[in-house]
Each structure stands twice: as C-alpha cells, then as structure tokens.
Amino acid sequence: MGEKFLSERNLKFLLYEVFDVTSLLQYPYYAEHSRETFDMVLETAMKIGMDLLRPKLEEMDRNPPEFVDGHVKVHPAVRTFMNEFGEGGWISAIAPMKLGGQQIPRMVDLIPNFIFAAANYSTSAYLILTTEAARLIESFGSEEMIETYIPKMFAGQWQGTMALTEPQAGSSLADIITSAEPTNQGYYKIRGQKIFISASEHDGVENVVNLLLAKIKGSPVGTRGISLFVVPNKRIDENGELIFNDVNVTGTYHKLGYRGCPINQLSLGENDDCRGYLVGEPNKGLAYMFQMMNASRLLIGLGAAAIASAAYYAALEYAKERPQGRRLTSKDPTLPQIPIIEHADVKRMLLFQRSIIEGSLSLLFQCNKYSDLQIVLEGEEKEKYSLLLDLLTPVAKSYPSEMGILSVSQALQCLGGYGYCDEFSLEQYYRDVRIHPIHEGTTGIHGITLLGRNVTMKNGKAFQLYLEEVQKVIRATEDDSELNPYSLELRNALEKLRDVTSHLIDVRNEGNTELFLADATLYLEFFGIIAIAWQWLLQALSVQKALKNKDGLSEADANFYQGKMYTFRYFFGYELPKIEGLAKRLLNTDGLTVEMKADLFSD
Amino acid sequence: MGEKFLSERNLKFLLYEVFDVTSLLQYPYYAEHSRETFDMVLETAMKIGMDLLRPKLEEMDRNPPEFVDGHVKVHPAVRTFMNEFGEGGWISAIAPMKLGGQQIPRMVDLIPNFIFAAANYSTSAYLILTTEAARLIESFGSEEMIETYIPKMFAGQWQGTMALTEPQAGSSLADIITSAEPTNQGYYKIRGQKIFISASEHDGVENVVNLLLAKIKGSPVGTRGISLFVVPNKRIDENGELIFNDVNVTGTYHKLGYRGCPINQLSLGENDDCRGYLVGEPNKGLAYMFQMMNASRLLIGLGAAAIASAAYYAALEYAKERPQGRRLTSKDPTLPQIPIIEHADVKRMLLFQRSIIEGSLSLLFQCNKYSDLQIVLEGEEKEKYSLLLDLLTPVAKSYPSEMGILSVSQALQCLGGYGYCDEFSLEQYYRDVRIHPIHEGTTGIHGITLLGRNVTMKNGKAFQLYLEEVQKVIRATEDDSELNPYSLELRNALEKLRDVTSHLIDVRNEGNTELFLADATLYLEFFGIIAIAWQWLLQALSVQKALKNKDGLSEADANFYQGKMYTFRYFFGYELPKIEGLAKRLLNTDGLTVEMKADLFSD
C-alpha cells in the first residue's frame, strides 16, 4: 500500500485559495479561529489518518463484523478510533462551543472527514453518524436530552445512528409502520423493525443512540404522521445505570464492501419494553430528519470522492513504477520499457480520476461554504445560501457517488491483472465505493428530488440563484485570454441546462408528471457535469490568480498549478462534452420508459 | 436465486430469425446438421446450465481455489463439469468430425458457451480454454501432437491453457523472456515464469496442457522471435506413464471475483527438466497464438454479456416482486404500494441492461457468422468475412466487457441495499464481471488494435467492408415507415464515424502517431456504440418481418417482439446519443494527454 492517499496541497488550495475560508473569520461565530487553527486541523487529521486509521484498512475488510450471541462484534480498533474521535474533538468539531464543540466551519470540518474516509472509509462512518445524530438532538431535542446524550456522543462513548428504513419502507418513507405508543411517563413504547441501519450495534462503544422515525398511534397517514425519537440501545435507569432497552439486533448484513462498519437489522420492543423519547413535536419527524439526511448526503459524496482519491494515488504510484511497452514512436524492442504513466491512454485514465475527485471536492467545499454562511447570515442572504445548498445537495451527493465508481474502476484498470487481486487495495476500494449511490437515498431518488422538487421550488428561485452563481464565474473568466474559450463552453452548457429545464417544466405544466420525471436520473447526471465544470472553471480562476506571481513560486507549487490546469482542460475536453448526448436525450420526451409494460421485459 | 438467467427465446430469435443459421446448411461442411440438432444443443445446454452448473455458482465463489502443498485445489464440482464437458461433446463441438468433433457452426456453439457462462461464469472458462487450446494444436501442431493431446483434451481429462504473460511482459508480449533451448531429442528445455495463467493447474483434471509462448535461444528480439510450445504439466514417459514435467505452481491469486477458476503463477524448469514441444515453425508463435487469442476475445465478450444477462434476470425478478412507492400521479399513502417495475426510472435501468446484453449478443452472433462463413468460402468472399471478423473482434470483446460492468451495476442498483449484500447474487456478478476489460487484452490495447491496426489495414479495406455491411441494413430499413427514423439516425452516426476516422487518419498521416492514438480507447467506445446500433436495427428488421404475420403470433411471441422494439428504441433514444460527446472529443486532437508530464500528477 502506497504512502500517499490524498493531496494535502489540493485541500489547502481549495480551502484557502478557491473558497477563502478566512473570509468567514469576520463573523463573530467563527472569529476565534485563524488560519493556524485550520492548518492544525489538517495536520493532526493527517497524522491520525496515516498512523491510526490507514494501517487497519485491510484488516477490517478481511475481518468483517460478526453476529455472535445476539450481538455485533467489530474489529477491536473501532474502540480505539471512537476514543480518538471523542478525545480529539473530531465528533464535536462543528458543534457550538456552549455544548463543548469548537464552532469549526463545515468547510474546515470537511478536511478531517475527507482524510479519515480516504484512509479507511468504514471508520469515518462511525464518526459522522455520531456527529450528525448529536446535531439533530441539539437542533430539536429538549435540554434534558441534550445533557443526557450529547456529552457521551461527543466523547465517542456512545454511537449515533439514523434509523429510518424498514422491510417495507426504503425509498418510500411514507410507509414506515414502526409504532410509538404514548405513556404517561414521558416516554413512548416503540415497536417495529428497522433494517440496513449502519453502526446500530457494536462492541466498540458503550451504547448506541438511534435517531429513529416512527408513527405515534393515531397520527396522520404518510409522511405527515412521522415523528422523531431518540431510542438508545441501553437506557439509563433510576439509579443511573445503563440497562437493556429492548432494542434487539437480529442480524448483520454480509456486504460487498464497507466491511469495517456493521449494517444491522433491529427488532424493537420484542418484550414490550423499548422506550423512545420524542424529539421536538409529534409528526414533524421527517422534516427534522432532513437535517441529518442532507448533512449525511454531502458526507456520502465526500466519502466516495475520498475512496476515489485513495484509489487514484495507488494507481498513480503503480503507473510510475510499472515498466511496460515503449513509446508508439519508437517501438524498438531492444530499448528498455517505459513506465506506463508515459502512455497517453494511462495519462487519460489518471486525468479522468483526478478531474472527478478534485471537481467533486470543489463542489463539496462550495456546498459547505453555503452551509457555513447560512448559519451566520440573516434574511435574504441566509435564504439565498440555504436555497443553493438545498438545490445542490442531491448533485453533491450523487455525482461523486456515481462517478466515484467509474473513477475507482479506472484506477483498478491501471493495474491490469494486479488490480483484480487482493495484493493491492484497488479491489477493496472498488467494493467499498459501490455503496454510495445506494445509501442516503439512491441516485434515482435524488434525480426526482432535484428535478421534481428543488429546481422548481419557490417558483424556481433556487435554480435562478444557481444560474447567477455560475454566471458570476463565467463573467470573471471571460476576459482572461487563457480561460475565455472554457468560459464560452460553460456559457453554452448553461444555455443547454436552461433549455432542457424549461422543456421539462413545459412537460410538467402540461400535466404529465410521469413523463416530466421519467429521465430525472439523467437530468441529475447532466446537471452534475455542468456543476462540476463550473467548479473547475472556478478553480482555474484561482490558478490564474496564483500564476500572476509566477516568480515567487516553488517548483512544487508551479507543478501543482500546471497539473491543475491540465486536469481542468481534461474536464472541459473530455467530460463536459458528455452533456451533448444527455441534452439530446432529455429533450426527447417520447415517454418510452413510461409506456413500456412490465410484461414485456421477460424475453 | 431466481430460476431465469437468460432468454432462450432471444437466442432462437438471433440464431434463426436474425442470422438464419440454417443458411449455413447449404455448405457441405455443415450439411449434416439441421435445425433439430441445433435446437437440441440449446435444450441440452440449458439442462446442464440449470441442473449442473448454476447450483454451484455461489458455493464455488465462497470456496475459491486454494494453494496447498504446491498444488491448486479447486471445488470438487470442477471434475464433474469437465467430465460432462468432455462426455457431452461440448469441448469438441466445433472441431472437425475427423478429429472426433461435430463441425458445429460457431454461431451455434455460442449458445452453450453463453448458457454455461450465464449459469456459472468461472466454469465456462475451463471449457473454452480447453476447446481453443486444442484447436490451436489442431491448426498448427504435428500429427503426433494432435494424437497425443487432442483426444484427452476433448474428453475433458486434460485442461488446456494459454500461457503468455510474464512478470515483465503483460500487454507488451515483445518482452517475454521465457526461454526454449533446443535438444537433439525433439523437445526444447523450457525455463521461465508465467503469471496470471487461468486454470494452469488444478485437481479437477489429470493433466494440463499449456500453449506457451517462449523464445528459442538466438531468435530475433521482440515479437518476431516468439515461438509456440506445448508444455504439459505432466509429460508421458517411455512407458506411457504421466510424469512431472517440472512445471511448478508457485501460487494462485486471490481475486475480486471469477473465484471458481484459479489463476496461477508458474515457474518452469526449476529442475532443468521442463520439456516443451514446438508447435509449427520457430518464431511464428505469436501469429499462431492470435488464433486462440482472437477466438478467446469473442468468448470473453460473450462471458461478460452472459453475466450481465444473469444479473438482469435477477434484477427483473426483484423489480416485479418488490413493492415500493406509488405512481407519481397518485401518491396517496393509503393506496397499496406498487412493484418497483412500475416506476419509469426502474424500467429505464432494465431497458439499459437489456439493450446492452441483447445488442452485444447480436454483435457476437454476427462475428461468429463471419467466422463460420470464412471457413467454407473461398477467395474474395473468404477474405471479406475474415477481414470483417478481424476488424470487429476488439469491439465484440470490449463493448460487452465495458458495458457489462455498467449493466451489472445497474442491476445491483435495482435491488438497492439488498444488491450490496450477499443474500442475492448481484454482488457476485458485480465482482465476476470486472475482469473482462482486463483479461485477453485490456480495453486500452484493443483501442489501439482497432484504430492503429484494423481500421487502416489493407488500405482501409476492412473498414470499407464494414461500412457497406452497415449501409446494407440502413438501405433495407429506410423504406419501412416505422424503422425509417432510426435508419436515418444510423446513417448520421455512420457519417460521424467516417468523419472522425478520416480526421484521425489525417493526424496519423501528418506523422503524429501518439496524437493519432491518444484517444484510441474512446474511439473504440464510439465505434462500439455505432456497431451495436447497427445490430439493433438489424434485429428490428427481423421483428418487422415477423410482425407481418401478426395473426399467427402467440401472446408470448407478440410480447417478445414488442419488448424487442422497445429495447431497440431505447438503444437509439438513450445509448446512440452518447456518440455526440465522443465525436466532439475525438475531433479535438489537442494532444492534452500526450503533453501532460508524469511529474504533474502528484498533487
């Protein structure tokens, strides 16, 4: 396994040069920080990633969670990691200081999350679930709840989860039937089954706190009757002791990858003694849960980009060291072979990966910046960033997830036969990264969210704001002679986005909802490519700014900026043209997939 | 695991309706056959696939080959299968009758190979390697060799392999260093190492016959000095006993998938006692080996399509049975949920898979038809089919291999979280199918073969013949009012293919070889999509012919033809437009990947 699994230089480039995180320091909420504290976050996280998490990557894959005597045993390293995540303040980093957090901007918190996921993806799941579950309690829970759960969760002693899916209710949350029966003692009796719940029991922590969706008896049908509960695996009794809360694990899944973290099935209230504590008001559970879901979605996108980054550096190392073949211009077999990185096709495969990873990362920084700003701003500005974040969340989740698979697959391909064997980590990355288009909402669901909800919400306001954001970058680059051709390309792409969107909205306005959304997944792909092109042009703008001071550049920096420009040009030359075929398809609303009958698939 | 893993109806459609296999019966070589014998091949192969191979699919994956005491142990079922492949005449089916074969056309032989690969991919590898290794001996070996090896191989008692790759020579076969030292006793002493050799030792057979490339001492450098040898793991001594031939297995790989068949490392001549028997003339080994390589390439493409077929039927079954969500037009949560196959997005995913699988299969039938015709024709006709086969082999290998991965991935996606878990076979198919773009030449190599060699060979003659083949189908469909719009689309696509090709040839003629071939992999993808569109139009033509007799159609047949037409329309509506972006890229020979320096990849 190679040393390098991500580019620290690129993280700093995005954080400081492209997204200027220090501009946040002007707001009182972030004012206690400085570039020095942010640098230290990166440095410390790198140390943990390299020294602690990464050495266990393969071992945790080869020794997946086991279901023994009704409990889930995980690799012993998980306990060490959770301790470190707690003691090091990684779980609480973004939380307010008054709760023991550090009020770190999400833009900065992205960095440890990326590093940990690139080092050992499964491990990062324990952390982010705990952070986001605690934040949900913080946002909507009572004071008592906050005091009871948050300190333990921030300390890494109690694991957080999100417990949504049930056997009959996956994508369709309206159909959950886990029930909550009120008692007169301040809690609800929970009964039901939850499946596919990550980290919902394991022996790396003392307790697990499930943020669980259920229906209070008599509540409205569908999503309007969903409430949010805290359901700990162990509850605190009168004596302050942790006792069994009738949360029963019935099994853990055997998975293709992501094997360092268990995904379990739970049966709640088998002995009629599972207590759930209502978070906020009844029947508002789904709206609350969206806070955690949306935050997690960005983190899933980030996780996919992180795995792709680790795979890229493994492929790069191999490509530099593996001699095979000769230049096409001098195939004399008496000459020594050249490293495969000298072949244009291998360089193309590497540039593909890099353009996906760094483009995705940039979009994720952008979303996190919107998130950070909406916290500290008010009124129209707050709404603006909140709408932009909302609009882009399905894109920032799905683009890295879908393209991450292809990126890792190309990395594996760079190693030829060795990529297919477990001497190298590529085959593990290939298995690990396949989950991302599934968990936290499938790509199909995100397509429908983007086109069916986000693009049209508030009369298209978010979409308009987005177009303006992209146009701002186009305007900033069109006078730069080097960037101008790309600026024009993006302008044309944006025109296509507008055409396709208005065509589809016409279809909707004609009342044909099924036709309107039939190709929503492809619309998401189309939208995503253009969003990443926007991010690449934004990055190129920062590169051009840096290059104005050419004389002061170190060789490493000069190489970095040059590599960036090649990758930027790669994206515009190879990836952006993919919108041509997609636009052609999306404008052709012939209803093929709506019409096709189930009976016709068999032969 | 579902019952259905392929469509027999579709195999018959392609064999009889589209490619009219019975037209071959006019040639004396095939004259002893009839539709009845072909039907029986299908029927018997289905029985073996279902009853014998498929039940071992998961078991063989979960219990991969083990390297114990210097030998490779495989699942005990392998011996049963090899016996059946031998006794049932499956290994020898295409061989001439004079050698104990049946002179079955390759078009027909495609059927058992597809069925066996769809039932249990790893298993099919043992079979096809033995068939093609035996055919190589038959084509270029001595009478004695034929007598010694072929009967044992046809009986399934001796395994065949192709032993090409060495630690320093994978894609670059010019660099093999395994040496062959002549003796005066009719054999050569072989010394060297071979890696990544499928089935090169296992306990499911008595012996293994490696068709091995090596260099005779003093031969020319590079590919011109490569000779072909038969190197059995055990040789026959003076008493007719099988004795150790100093072929030492040094390990077996732990692989992502394809775990039912071992891939081994061999060390030859460690005790200076490894005997190799020269096949044909010295220094012509690579040319000979191309017979086996090219035949295997079509079979690799077929294997990928077969795995994708099994995955498709698993996804289809799930999609029909899994209730989730409601129609977008009536989201009333009090209504029962609908099976997910009712959602347009799921139908799109299924049509995608089907269009890939059936389009690929059609191209493979087409190639096999060319192969069958070149055997029985003479002169210009023979050359024509031989050139077409040569031209299309990289496409028929790579399109199914690359798209098969995406197809299986979409099948897995149809199952959501369940697709990621090993309760269903999807995760295994996903692992199994990933090898296809690697073995028998990576996709990158095939891109260079197609553009750098095949398109331009004999002054572009093969390419011209291909254009005529496609135009023939365009002309046959343009008068049909239903097919005419698609006919026009294909005409435009063919125009694009001509433009892109002539642009690239101009680049080559300017002397810039690296630039010419920089995007050869994308050219292969571009070429592949158009080739599959051609095959879909050809299939649609047969459907239209069948529908002229509408009244006589059974409901099953009517559904089949209607489903075909939807899938055909899907391909033209969703897949063919992908050439737009590819053409844009391919016409932009900016040299980005040629220029990019290795140093610039690090950050």
Tell me the three-class secondary structure of B271-323, residue by residue.
CCCCEEEEECCCCCHHHHHHHHHHHHHHHHHHHHHHHHHHHHHHHHHHHHHCE
Q: List the beta bridge partners of residue A182.
A: A188
* Per-residue pLDDT, A539: 98
As a whole number of angstroms, the distance between CA A129 and CA A197 comes to: 11
In a domain, residue B574? The reply is yes
* Per-residue pLDDT, A2: 64
List Cα–Cα distances, A259 to A105, A263, A459, B270, in angstroms. 30, 9, 44, 41
What is the pairing mode between strands B207-216 and B158-163?
Answer: parallel
SS3 A549: coil
Q: Residues A400-410: pLDDT tens digits?
A: 999 999 999 99
Which of B165, B427, B566 has its CB closest to that of A596? Answer: B566
Region for residue A241 given its phi and psi (left: phi exceeds 0; alpha: psi -120 to 50; beta: otherwise): beta
8 A C-beta contact, residue B389 and residue B469:
no
8 A C-beta contact, residue B353 and residue B315:
yes
Which of A195, A325, A574 has its CB closest to that of B171? Answer: A325
What percentage of chain B carries pLDDT values higher than 70?
A: 100
Q: Which amino acid is at A246?
A: D
* Nearest residue to A71 via CA among A211, A269, A237, A205: A205
Q: Residues B422-452: pLDDT tens digits?
A: 999 999 999 999 999 999 999 999 999 999 9
* Chain A interface, best mutation among B14, B332, B345, B582, by max A CB count within 10 A: B345
In a domain, residue B95? The reply is no
Q: Residues A357-381: pLDDT tens digits?
A: 999 999 999 999 999 999 999 999 9
As a whole number of angstroms, the distance between CA B164 and CA B212 comes to: 6
Q: Which residue in chain B is spatially nearest to A583 when comparing CA positions? A: B577
> Region A382-406: what's the mean pLDDT?
98
List Cα–Cα distances, A182 to A140, A145, A146, A178, A187, in angstroms. 19, 18, 21, 13, 7
As a whole number of angstroms, the distance between CA A235 and CA A209 comes to: 9
- What backbone phi and psi angles, to 5 degrees, belong to B497? -60, -40
Q: Mind giving me the DSSP string for A345-410?
A: HHHHHHHHHHHHHHHHHHHHHHHHHHHHHHHH--HHHHHHHHHHHHHHHHHHHHHHHHHHHHHHHH
8 A C-beta contact, residue A578 and residue A356:
no
In a domain, residue B364? The reply is no
Q: Which residue in chain B is spatially nearest to A439 when comparing CA positions? A: B417
Helix or strand holding residue B332 (H, E)? none
* Per-residue pLDDT, A3: 87
* Inter-chain residue contact B422 with A323, CB threshold 8 Å: no
As a whole number of angstroms, the distance between CA A451 and CA A332 comes to: 56
List Cα–Cα distances, B578 to B395, B568, B581, B582, in angstroms. 16, 15, 6, 7
8 A C-beta contact, residue A257 and residue A431:
yes
* Per-residue pLDDT, A198: 98
In a domain, residue B541? The reply is yes
How much is the ipTM here? 0.98
Distance between alpha carbon A229 and the CA centroid of its chain, in Å?
A: 24
8 A C-beta contact, residue B448 and residue B351:
no
- Token pair of B118 as six digits: 């769809």
As a whole number of angstroms, the distance between CA B195 and CA B213 comes to: 12
Query: With bands split at pLDDT 50, 70 and 90, how would you rate the model's confidence at A444?
Result: very high
* Inter-chain residue contact B577 with A578, CB threshold 8 Å: no
* Per-residue pLDDT, B411: 98
8 A C-beta contact, residue B231 and residue B163:
yes
* Inter-chain residue contact B521 with A346, CB threshold 8 Å: no
8 A C-beta contact, residue A563 and residue B602:
yes
Distance between alpha carbon B309 and the CA centroid of its chain, in Å?
A: 14
Instruction: Answer whether residue A329 shows pLDDT above 90.
Output: no
Taken as a whole, chain A contains a residue count of 603
Residues of chain B found within 8 Å of residue A5, distances taken between Cβ atoms: none
Residues of chain A found within 8 Å of residue B413, distances taken between Cβ atoms: 437-438, 442-444
* Per-residue pLDDT, A330: 81
As a whole number of angstroms, the distance between CA A458 and CA A446 comes to: 18
As a whole number of angstroms, the distance between CA A118 and CA A404 comes to: 12
> Region A11-26: what's the mean pLDDT?
98
As a whole number of angstroms, the distance between CA B122 and CA B250 comes to: 21
SS3 A323: strand
Instruction: Answer whether residue A389 shows pLDDT above 90.
Output: yes
In a domain, residue B464? The reply is yes
Q: Residues A41-79: pLDDT tens digits?
A: 999 999 999 999 999 999 999 999 999 999 999 999 999
The range of the structural domain enclosing residue A529 comes to 453-589
Query: With bands split at pLDDT 50, 70 and 90, how would you rate the model's confidence at A590?
Result: very high
Per-residue H/E/C for B192-248: EEEEEEECCCCCCCCEEEEEEEEEECCCCCHHHHEEEEEEECEEECCCCCEEECCEE
In a domain, residue A459? The reply is yes
List Cα–Cα distances, A573 to A307, A471, A515, B169, B583, in angstroms. 25, 20, 32, 33, 11
8 A C-beta contact, residue B60 and residue B260:
yes
Q: Which amino acid is at B201?
A: E
In a domain, residue B469? The reply is yes
Does the predicted model carry a pTM greater than 0.95? yes
Residues of chain A found within 8 Å of residue B196, distances taken between Cβ atoms: 417
> Region B592-601: what's the mean pLDDT?
97
DSSP letter (8 states) at residue A573: I
In a domain, residue B501? The reply is yes
Q: Residues B534-587: pLDDT tens digits?
A: 999 999 999 999 999 878 899 999 999 999 999 999 999 999 999 999 999 999
- C-alpha triplet B568, B569, B571: angle, nearest 5°: 65
* Nearest residue to B361 via CA among B13, B2, B3, B119: B13
Which of A419, A563, A574 has its CB closest to that of B601? Answer: A563
Instruction: Answer whether residue A104 shows pLDDT above 60.
Output: yes
Under 8 Å CB-to-CB from B430, ≥6 apart: which residues? A256, A434, B257, B311, B408, B409, B412
- Token pair of A43 as six digits: 């440095």
As a whole number of angstroms, the distance between CA A238 and CA A59 comes to: 41
Q: Which residue in chain A is spatially nearest to B223 when comparing CA positions? A: A333
Q: Within B55-161, where are the H helices? A: 57-62, 77-87, 106-119, 121-140, 143-154
* Per-residue pLDDT, B276: 98
> Region B395-414: what's the mean pLDDT?
98
As a whole number of angstroms, the distance between CA B542 and CA B544 comes to: 5
Handedness of CA A411, A413, A414, A420 (dihedral sign): positive
* Inter-chain residue contact A172 with B413, CB threshold 8 Å: no
List Cα–Cα distances, B238 to A31, B190, B210, B241, B274, in angstroms. 90, 20, 21, 7, 16
- C-alpha triplet B322, B324, B326: angle, nearest 5°: 130
Under 8 Å CB-to-CB from A374, ≥6 apart: which residues? A382, A385, A386, A389
Q: Which residue in chain B is spatially nearest to A341 when comparing CA positions? A: B598
A-proximal residues of B, 537-556, CB under 8 Å: 556
* Per-residue pLDDT, A580: 98
As a whole number of angstroms, the distance between CA B521 and CA B519 comes to: 5
Q: How far is A431 from chain B (nearest CA, A)?
A: 8
8 A C-beta contact, residue A303 and residue A290:
no
- C-alpha triplet B284, B286, B292: angle, nearest 5°: 120
Instruction: Answer whether residue A272 shows pLDDT above 60.
Output: yes
Q: Around B193, how many Cα atoms within 13 Å sit in the side-chain half-sphere? A: 11
Q: List the beta bridge partners of residue B179.
A: B191, B215
As a whole number of angstroms, the distance between CA A551 and CA A561 comes to: 13
Instruction: Answer whether residue B1 shows pLDDT above 70.
Output: no
* Inter-chain residue contact B223 with A333, CB threshold 8 Å: yes
The mean pLDDT value of chain A amounts to: 97
* Inter-chain residue contact B333 with A223, CB threshold 8 Å: yes
Instruction: Answer whether residue A131 shows pLDDT above 90.
Output: yes
Q: Residues B321-333: pLDDT tens digits?
A: 999 999 988 878 8
* Nearest residue to B235 via CA among B130, B133, B148, B132: B148
* Per-residue pLDDT, B2: 64
As a whole number of angstroms, the distance between CA A94 and CA A299 comes to: 14
Which of B419, B581, B600 has its CB closest to that of A563? Answer: B600
* Per-residue pLDDT, B352: 98
Residues of chain B found within 8 Å of residue A444, distances taken between Cβ atoms: 343, 345-346, 349, 413
| Furthest-apart CA atoms within chain B: distance in Å | 87
* Per-residue pLDDT, B260: 98
Q: Residues B305-348: pLDDT tens digits?
A: 999 999 999 999 999 999 999 998 887 889 999 999 999 999 99
Q: Is B198 touching A (CB cutoff 8 A)?
A: no
- Token pair of B489 as six digits: 């689309």
* Inter-chain residue contact B327 with A168, CB threshold 8 Å: no
What percentage of chain B carries pLDDT values higher than 90?
A: 98
Residues of chain A found within 8 Å of residue B599, distances taken between Cβ atoms: 559
- Looking at the 3D structure of chain A, how many domains does it have? 1
